[in-house]
Each structure stands twice: as structure tokens, then as C-alpha cells.
Structure 1
């Protein structure tokens, strides 16, 4: 091979491909119509990154000038300057506008961001049903940067070793790609979140770019000649370069369309669309029609040049906007956020990124290296020592924060049944409590009554699992754990020691959650959302279960929905603005006629099931609501909800007396507590 220079030639069309990647990503995050599949922009970035990094390493290896030190100095100067500014800015936002628990989580994410482990932190958070929503995590987007940086740790040394086997470099790279891709396909079959966030299930995308780098440097001309000869044989009047670019842009567009389906498992095979599309676009000659006249035009090159700064800035701004707007901003607001992101990105590029990237000063380099370390140490200490944000000085806001973590329930995330025997009398019988997290919310009251009235209470079998209805054949899309769980619990209908069964769930989710499905005997998934046939199957199955429990001499209770909706969340009691900071709205009741009308449809079906099978209905709204006005705070301004769909443990423990009759023998219950 002939010697190459240690620098790769600048290609404006690659900045144009970067522009495609960042536009897709920004429009996806801003929820621009028709861009719900725009998350594939990250995959385009991965291919570009793998191509450029591998091209640099290969050229230096080929000219015997490769230096690990120089490689990582370049990476530091490229990655750290704007990242440091964004991290500090995000911390200041959290300090001024976040609640204690939000601020603690932010410090955790900041620490993870400084050591490029955000993807792993987010993966381990994903198993927590009550974790903060994605829209409120200001550094959520750093997961992809973490994967890239993990690749930069793995790949230079690997390629340095592979290069010693000169005749087999391409084969070895291809073999690693296949191994990583197989890991992706295998992992997604049992844990789609792991497949999304773990580096070794995503490295194949960067390695495709690396594979292309080798082809482009050492094989491109021979491949183009081979393709042109085939095209000429079939009298196709298009050259290889134009064909590759047309196919490349087409695959990315198809990826955007196909990946708009929320039911797909990603990355999986679907990631091949943006990955192969990016591969072909880069592999095309920069003088091909699409690359020259579309990707290399001034606007695309300008946007592509800002892509790194745009990526870092846009998500914290959108996420902060979502936070101060109660969870979701309007399309107009999101568009304005993208405009602000563009301005900040341009300033960052001109004032920070470009000057530092080409600076030769050692002091600048030392500052870049040690500043993230200092930020990581400080934020780690803030996380572990629970240093408080400004909002914690307000006692009412402190109550809001306390309510957000006010949850008590056993075995919250494992598929086991919690048993609590009556310490005084084992002959009082057993109650089976079965449901999703809306059953879990009642644990504090159930435990309190059994502890305070051991002579008159029964033993407890508490079977709750977040997200799983107490109904056979019902699960979430592409998940089977709920199916196995419900079958396990339903077998307890034959247990003679159980004399009472209590079923509770967020039944209202049937009318708002698209991911809930009914699995028929052929394991065919049928969405329940706005599907009258599947909805009828759901309620028919519930009815047959209630009937079976009754036939086995069980007393059956059906607990109707508590009021649900963002109006009930403690965070809805807050008003946040960029200018005025965080304030509390001291309202004790909210009007939600929409929920009340929708709940009437569901409760009427449940009441019909109860009437037909001899079950007993418990209606929490009798305690919580007057007409369409429902309680959200006690008289001393403590919220009664944990979030938008669950009561908190403190309120339930002292007030949810409607649950007492399910646990006490001789149908003894205590007078309903009055609303505080």
C-alpha cells in the first residue's frame, strides 16, 4: 500500500450527512409531525463517527505515524469544550428550578456524563417504574455520546493490533461487526432496553463506518469499477457513485418511515436502514449528484458544522421547557426551543468549539482534561450528600418533593407474592390482593390495619406487579412477563385458605395506553386501545375470573379507579418559569370532568361484572371527589398523590378506610375518614 498523509481530506458532503442526522434527531425530540422515527439520526451519527475516526487511525497507521497520545488529545479538544459549558449550564438550571429529588438525579446524570457512562446509568434506571420520565432528564441525550466515547477507548487499540495482520484487516473488522450485530439481535429478543443502551450491541454501527473507511482508503476505485461494469452490462445509464447515493438517501428515508411505528424493536434489524443508507452516502463520490448539489450546499454544510453543538444544546432546552410546562410543551414552544438551540450552538461553535479545537496551548488542554474530572467529583459528592437546590428553602415546596418519594409497597419490581401472616390468629383466613401498582398504593393502609387490629384481621397475600393487570392474557406489546405472572396468581383460586380476593388496577389505562394488548389462544397480540373487540375480550376475561373465584367460595372485591391525570400530580401544583423560578399553587381540589366522564364508562362495565357475579364494588372517588372536583392536597398543604396515577403512602395510610372491610373479619370496618 502506498503511504498516505496523516490527515484525511475534508468532504463537505459529510457535513451534509451530519445535517441530515441532526435534523432527524432534533425534529424527533421536538415532536415535529412525520418525524416520530427521527431517532435514527443517532445511527447516522454513529456511522459517520466510525468512518472518520477509523480513517484517521488507518491513515496514521499506514504512514507509521499513529500516536495514541495525539489521538486522544484530538478527541479531548473536539468533545470537551462545549460539553463542559453545557454541563455547567444544566447544573445551574437544576440548582434554580428543580426539586430536591430532581436535583439529586441531575447530579447523578452529570457525574455519569463526565465519565461517559450515561448509557449504562439510564439502562439501570429503566427498570424503575417510578423513575423520572425521559422528558424531564436534561442529560438523557448523552447516552449516545457515551457509546461513542466507549468506542474510542476500545477501537484504537484494537485496530492497532488488527493492523499487524495486514492481509486480513477487512475480514477481522467484518467479523467484529457480525459479532456485535448478532449480540444486538440476540439481546433485543429478551431485553430491548439493554440492546438500545449497551455499547457492544451498538458498536456494529460505528464499525460499519470503520469498515467503510478501509474500503474508501484502499478499495474504493476497484469496487466502483466493478459496479460500473455490472451496470454497463445491463445498459443502465447511471454510474456507481450516483447509484450508491440514491440508494443511500432512499434507505434513510425508508428508515424514517418504517421506524415511525412505535411497536418496532429497535435497533434490531431496523437499524440497518439508516446504517446502510449512511454507508452508501459516504461511500458515494462527493461529486455524485446528491452529494454535490444537496449534501454539499451551504445550508447543509453550515448545519452539519454545528451538529455537535446542536446535539448538546437542544435536548436540555427542550427537556427544561417540558419541565416548566407541566410535562409536555406545545409544537410552537418546541420550535422556539430549536431556534434558541441554533443560536447557542452557533455562539458555542464560534466562541468555544472552533478556537479551542485548533489551539496548541498546553494550558488549554490541561483545563479541558481536568474540568470534567472536577465537575464529576463535585456532582458525585452533591448526589451522595443530597445537597439541596434553592427550592428546598420553601417548606411548601419541600412537601411537594416529599410526596414524590412517598411510596411504600413490598416486592415492587420482582415477580413474587408477598405474604404477611396474622401474628395473633392464623385461622382468620387469607386475603389475596392482586393488581398492578394501583393495588400497590394501598399497601400502607393494609399493613396499618393488620398491625393495629391483629385479632380481627386476616393474613395477607399481596401480589402486585407494576404495569400488569389482574387479568389473564393481558400484557404489554412484546412482553410476556405479565402473562406468566397472571397465570401464576390465578392458580391461587384453588387455595382453600384464601377466602377473599381483591382486584385493583389503573383500569383507565385501557383508554389511554396504546401498548396494552390482549393475547388470544394463538398468542396473537391485539391492541385494546380504541379496539372494541379487544376491550370486550378484556372485560369478558375479567368476568370469567370473578366467576371462577366465586365458584371457589371466595368473596371478591373490585376496586374502581382513583382519579388519574396530570392535574393530580404534585408537580402540577408547581409553577415554574425562567424568570420567576419555582412557585407553588396552593389549590386543594381540581376539576376534571373529562376523567369523570371516561371513568363512568369503565366503572359501569366493572359494576356490571360485579352485579352478574356477586362481587363487591369499592369506589375510591366517593372519598376523593365531590361531583367532578377531586382532592389533590390536605388542609396542611401536603399532596395526596405520588404522581399522576397513584396516591402516596401517607395519605392512603391515614385515609383510605374503604380498603378496611377487605381485611377485617366479621365484615368489620371503620368509619370512613373525612377528607383532611
Structure 2
């Protein structure tokens, strides 16, 4: 029958608890195994992360069934409901959070620990899905260094349960069929998910409104209790099982289709009930045992794997060991933490105990974040690197000659005409301007046309960049500076190297037609795979027993620019244009410069030049010779 959640003569007069279903614990086991295997060995189960979606359906079903039963029996209390949620979620979560804080304190670098502190606070407040949405994608490499990334799903669940019990109570009081509300919300949420999947995949993944349909499908099954015939139910259960298996394996398709298949497959298995062959297989003792520890297993596995990645110990054997340790910790957490607090001697003090532990974790996270990752954990020379920051805007004429993506025209001071050298490029060129001004500013007027993410290349890049570059060419033709210097983060625009080099050639030819006296191409600067301070500290930590901080380093150096530097030099020679190689200035066979005397870093991110580095390049023999030769 359909559970209408309306007060009718047929409403039961005595409360009968919904029976325990061992098959749902078995389905939990399938879900958590899929997630753990995917995170440890992604190629083994390409879409194993869809196990989280199965958890959503299960949660929506079980929690709604409990709420609905209690509302019909007039026993439901929001206070009691949220107390149960605290006893269910907080004990294991607090243990994992506090253990993660201890591990992070030992393992993480200051920048990593500062970010981790922010994640702790977001997790304690159950808003980590919004926090991670604002950062990098779930599937990128940066995600592997976020030990609490998996807690986004808990945040989505709790955001759902902030409003769903209230809606169910409203349905009861207004005599509205709960299944109709559940179906309507599920349809709207699913539509939002489909739209966002195509336009904003990150939002579709993390935002609650694009996830509620999964929880609401479980809720719909809970309130629409229509009996399924035994023969037909068995067939439906097999179909559901096959749908789930196909979606997790990624055999047919991925994306929204696979997620939808996994959700409806698990929904079918739940809806059929506990009387078919599939449910009996899921009800076996091993499956139920894993299902019972599925929540702490989900909590433990990812921090362990993530910390392995951070210390660069993610070998196959270590990942297998991590899976085994996760199971052991999950079992210990279930028996010695969860059960005593939920059902045992600690139940009476569970709420203050859990609230205190979670508050402690939140305070620790806030303190870590507020103290910039606590660099005091490291020696003085490492602290100076860890806390190195650059005021990128300093002396670079931000808002006037260094424009963002949305700012309009360059100020008149940016384009002097008499005895002028102009630098044209993106934000990396803006940082080189600082050194050019200091080195050549007394002899020449230094012009600057720099715009974020816009290379000085005609007919290449974003439409707004092409418009900006057309305008820059018009300014060059009008003012005719003595020299134009082209510089940018070239590798970012050379995805198609042939098109990139063609655009460079076309730009040089167009500049020569303006009759300017000299064109100088400055090749790519060294770029690092991560921010340089992090790499230096990582090198220092690995360099046992010497613990050096190298002046030059190849560790973590991006290889992309090495070939590009040579190709750009070839184009320059072919077009009769001067070329200065920053790879020659800053690098040798042992690596590229990381710092300048006495201890000034060449960059504090992955490649933007610090002021000392810009000064060093501008005063180099190659640069002074190239600029002086044109005058």
C-alpha cells in the first residue's frame, strides 16, 4: 500500500517497527567495497565511486521509513531524530577527524596543513561539499592530497535531513500524500542534475540540489509501499543487480547515464524487498558483516590513502595494506566506539560526548588554519620558505596596465611613444615589467600591455583576448614604440603546438609591418609542477641525511617548456627576430634556479616571477644585450 502520511480512519493504532533487512546491509557492503576499490585501484573498478550514490538511495529509504513510521504513530520528535543522527554519525566521524589531525600535523607541509584546517572546519559544520566545490575537481591530482575530500557526501546527506523531516511532518498535517511530494522533488532535482552535468559538472557533483533526487528515490520507495509480486520481484531484483554491476564497471557508458543506472538499479533492489535470490545473496553473513562497518570503513579508507599519496608511498603493496588497515580500523571503531555510544553504557552521555569531540576537531582545524599551517613545526630556514609570499600586484600597475579578464582599456600611461620599450603579454609579462622598469626605466619609457590569461598572439585564445590583442596592435601602430617585447606563460597556450607556432609567426609578421624598430621574444620561464615553496620543503624532507635546500633543482620541474623554448627560438631565427631564452638564464644541466642570494625565491607559485627574479633576468647579459642592440 502507499503510505499517505494522512490522518485517516485506517491509520494504524499500534506502532509496528519496520523489520530489519539484512539485504540492505549487504547492499551497503557492495557500495563501500566499490568505493574503496576505486580509490585504491581505479582501473580495477572504473566507476566504483558510484557506490556513494548507492549509499544515498539506502539512506533516503531507511531514514524516511523510520520518520514515516513514527509520524503515523504520532511518536516523531525532531529532537529525538537529530539526537539519533548525532549518535549515528558523530562518534566514528570525530575519531577519524581527530586521528587525521594528528597525522596531518606530522606529515603535512604548512600550505597543505593550512588547507587541511579549512577542510576540518567545513567537515565539522557539514558544508564541505561547498568547500570542495570551490576548489579543484574531485578527480584531479590535487584531490588525492585532500584527506577529507570524501566527507562531501556526509554534508549532502545532512543538508537533506535538515529539511526532509519537516516536509514529511507538513504532509501529515496537511493530508498531502508524501509520495507525491517525494516524486516531485526527485523530478526537479534530477532535472537540475541533468542540466548541471552538461554545463557545470563540478556543481552537479557537489551541490545538494543536484543530489537530492538520489536520496529522494529511496524516500519514495519508503513511503510508496506497494507490494511487488514474488515472481516479478525476483526478475526486477536481477535487473537492478545487473544495472548496478554495469554502472560500477563502466562497461557501457559513464557520466550521467552510469550514475542514473546505479541509482535506479539499487532502488529496484531495495523496492523488491527481502524475499528473492538477490536479497538472499546480499544477506549472507560476510556481506552483512561488511555492511555493518561500512560507515567507519568509508570514513577511514580515504584519509589513509590520501596520506600515502602525500608522502609518496602509494605503491600497489602499500595501497593493499591501506585497504586492510582500513578494514581493521573500521571494525575496531564499530565495536569499541559506535556500539557503546549508540547502544551501550555511554548512550546516556552520547550527545555531550560527541558534541565535545566534534567541537575539539573544529577548534583544532580553525587554529591550524588561523596559524597558517603552523610553520613553527619546522626549522627557521624552512619556515622562511613556507611563509614566503609575494605581493604580485606590487609595482606592476594593476588595474591600469595589468588588467583582469573583465577590465577594459589600458590607461594612457601604459603606452608611451617616445624612446619607449613596451612589454606585451599576460600576468607573467606583468611580473617581468617590474624588473624591466628597475633596470631600464631611467634610459627608456617602459610601456606595458598585460592582461590575465591572454597571450600576445593574434587569432589565438579566448575571444576577449583576441579583441584585446587587436586593440594592442592598433595602439602599437599608433604610438610606434622603439621595441616590443613578447612574453607570457607560453606553455599554457601551446596545447596545439603547430597552431601556437603559426600564431607566433603571424604576430611577428604583423608587428614588422608596423615599422617598429625591434621585436624581442622572451622564451618561457621555468615552471614547476606545484608551487615552488612546497617542492623545496618536500625536497628538504626527502634529502636524508643532509636535508639540503638546493639553489637549483630539477625535482618537480615541468618538462613542458624545454622543447617549447627551442621551437620558439627556431621561429625567431626564421623571422629574423631577437630571442632571449629564460631557460638559458635560469637553468643549467643540474636544474633551474630556485632562489637568489641571499635567500630570495624565484617564484612563490608555479612560475610567476618574484621581484628579485625579474630584476635578475632584466639585468642579465642576454637581456641587456638584446635591448641595447636595438637602440
With structure 2 as the length reference, what TM-score do the two structures score? 0.83
1:62-101 correspondence runs (5 A): 62-101=72-111
Q: Which residue of 1 aligns with 2:6?
A: none
1:599-645 alpha-carbon deviations (Å, 9 max, x no partner): 554334323333344444331111122235333344555553435x4
1:2-17 correspondence runs (5 A): 3=12, 5=15, 7-17=17-27
Q: Which residue of 2 aligns with 1:673?
A: none
Aligned length: 603
CA RMSD in angstroms comes to 3.9
Q: Which residue of 2 aligns with 1:335?
A: 320
1:195-236 alpha-carbon deviations (Å, 9 max, x no partner): 222211211111111112123xx21x1xx24xx8xxxxxxxx
Say which of 63, 66, 87 aligns to 1:56.
Answer: 66
Q: Does the 8 Å CA contact 2:121/2:365 hold for their aligned counterparts? A: yes
SS at structure 1 position matched to 2:19 = coil
Tell me the distance in 2 between the aligned counterparts of 1:92 and 1:189: 40
Note the C-alpha offset of 1:149. 0.9
Q: Which residue of 2 aligns with 1:667?
A: 627
Does 2:238 match 1:246?
Answer: yes
Tell me the distance in 2 between the aligned counterparts of 1:536 and 1:424: 31
Tell me the distance in 2 between the aligned counterparts of 1:576 and 1:306: 39
Q: Which residue of 2 aligns with 1:282?
A: 270
SS at structure 2 position matched to 1:462 = strand
Q: Which moved more, 1:364-373 or 1:103-112?
A: 364-373
Q: Which residue of 1 aligns with 2:33?
A: 23
Q: Which residue of 2 aligns with 1:519?
A: none
Q: Does the 8 Å CA contact 1:18/1:304 hold for their aligned counterparts? A: yes
1:126-205 correspondence runs (5 A): 126=136, 133-166=142-175, 168-205=177-214
Note the C-alpha offset of 1:190. 3.8
Q: Which residue of 1 aligns with 2:570?
A: 608
Does 2:576 match 1:589?
Answer: no
SS at structure 1 position matched to 2:165 = helix
Tell me the distance in 1 between the aligned counterparts of 2:18 and 2:546: 54
Note the C-alpha offset of 1:501. 5.4
Say which of 455, 474, 477 aligns to 1:494.
Answer: 474
SS at structure 1 position matched to 2:76 = coil
Say which of 564, 583, 589 aligns to 1:621.
Answer: 583
Distance of aligned partners of 1:653 and 1:539 in 2 relative to their CA distance in 1, 3 Å threshold? closer
Does 2:345 match 1:366?
Answer: no
Q: Does the 8 Å CA contact 1:442/1:649 hold for their aligned counterparts? A: no
Tell me the distance in 1 between the aligned counterparts of 2:610 and 2:601: 11
Question: Can you give the 5+ residue segments of structure 2 that lack an aligned partner in the other structure?
Answer: 1-9
Tell me the distance in 2 between the aligned counterparts of 1:441 and 1:592: 22
Does 2:386 match 1:401?
Answer: yes
Tell me the distance in 2 between the aligned counterparts of 1:541 and 1:423: 24
Q: Which residue of 2 aligns with 1:520?
A: none
Q: Does the 8 Å CA contact 1:420/1:461 hold for their aligned counterparts? A: no
Q: Which moved more, 1:243-252 or 1:85-94?
A: 243-252
Q: Which residue of 2 aligns with 1:255?
A: 247
1:37-56 alpha-carbon deviations (Å, 9 max, x no partner): 22212211111111111111
Q: Does the 8 Å CA contact 1:20/1:41 hold for their aligned counterparts? A: yes
Q: Does the 8 Å CA contact 2:130/2:206 hold for their aligned counterparts? A: yes
Distance of aligned partners of 1:469 and 1:164 in 2 relative to their CA distance in 1, 3 Å threshold? farther
Say which of 401, 417, 431 aligns to 2:422.
Answer: 431
1:241-284 alpha-carbon deviations (Å, 9 max, x no partner): 232222223322333344998xx7x5x55521221122122223
Note the C-alpha offset of 1:6. 5.8
Question: Can you give the 5+ residue segments of structure 1 that lack an aligned partner in the other structure?
Answer: 229-238, 475-481, 511-515, 517-527, 529-534, 671-676
Say which of 38, 48, 70 aligns to 2:48.
Answer: 38
Note the C-alpha offset of 1:97. 2.9
Tell me the distance in 2 between the aligned counterparts of 1:653 and 1:202: 48
Q: Which residue of 2 aligns with 1:540?
A: 502
1:392-412 alpha-carbon deviations (Å, 9 max, x no partner): 4x1122133134x44615579
SS at structure 2 position matched to 1:502 = strand
Tell me the distance in 2 between the aligned counterparts of 1:171 and 1:582: 68
Tell me the distance in 1 between the aligned counterparts of 2:416 and 2:541: 59
Note the C-alpha offset of 1:145. 0.8
Q: Which residue of 1 aligns with 2:452?
A: 464
Query: Max radius of gyration: which structure?
Result: 2
Distance of aligned partners of 1:594 and 1:504 in 2 relative to their CA distance in 1, 3 Å threshold? closer
SS at structure 1 position matched to 2:220 = helix
Q: Does the 8 Å CA contact 2:404/2:451 hold for their aligned counterparts? A: no
Q: Does the 8 Å CA contact 1:248/1:277 hold for their aligned counterparts? A: yes
Tell me the distance in 1 between the aligned counterparts of 2:619 and 2:250: 48
Note the C-alpha offset of 1:324. 1.5
Q: Which moved more, 1:569-578 or 1:553-562?
A: 569-578
Tell me the distance in 2 between the aligned counterparts of 1:39 and 1:412: 41
1:288-367 correspondence runs (5 A): 288-293=276-281, 295-325=282-312, 329-359=314-344, 361-367=347-353
Distance of aligned partners of 1:120 and 1:10 in 2 relative to their CA distance in 1, 3 Å threshold? same
With structure 1 as the length reference, what TM-score do the two structures score? 0.78
Q: Which residue of 1 aligns with 2:610?
A: 649
Tell me the distance in 1 between the aligned counterparts of 2:267 and 2:383: 52
Tell me the distance in 2 between the aligned counterparts of 1:211 and 1:324: 45
Tell me the distance in 2 between the aligned counterparts of 1:31 and 1:418: 51
